[in-house]
Amino acid sequence: MSGKDWIIRNGEALVMLGVFLFGLWTSLQGGWLLAVFGGIVMIVAALLLRGAMLRMRFVRQSHRSGVVLLDERRVGYFGPETGGFFELGELELVELMTYPTGAHWTLRGGGQELIVPAAAEGADQLFDVFASLPGFPMARATRLLEGEAPSGTHVLWPESDGRPPRAGSALPPRQQSRR
């Protein structure tokens, strides 16, 4: 990975680290007002840094096959051989298929299926989609992406209770589409 690619991949975390250090510097300039302001900046930066670090672990870098687009309530994937759109309101099942050569997300529901390589450009947007799912095991998904489990198909959401949620229940009520 070249230096430019490294900076692009880690840019969000680097910016948050810089903001944290600015808060630390500000808090050490003297006076209680600057100390409080600097402390608040450090707390906010630390929370955002944590999210950036999770996102860095979640995103896999490799040959970048295809492009993922997130538009309102739809995920689109445009690949060299396959592609399509998936309505998020219909989401009933999220699987991660892991192989020694890479991983693919499978989104199913409402008679639709979309397979997206984890290394596709823009696949990091799926992090935010999955984070909005109630009970999505983000830590487990990250470990699987890092190769800490055997190759195979892993059902991540809903966590196996034997029955899938009803269609359209994937996102919190305020985000669901009106039909």
The tens digit of pLDDT for each residue in 31-81 reads: 999 999 999 999 999 999 988 887 776 665 545 678 999 888 899 999 888
| pLDDT, position 64 | 61
| pLDDT, position 175 | 38
The four Cα atoms 105, 174, 158, 65 give a dihedral, to 10 degrees, of 0
Gap between the terminal Cα atoms of the chain? 46
| pLDDT, position 82 | 83
List the chain domain ranges.
3-58, 67-175
Hunting for tokens 């909005």 — which residue is that? 132
CA distance 40 to 47: 11
**Residue 133, Cα to own-chain centre: how many angstroms?**
11
Which residue numbers in the chain have pLDDT < 50? 62, 161-179
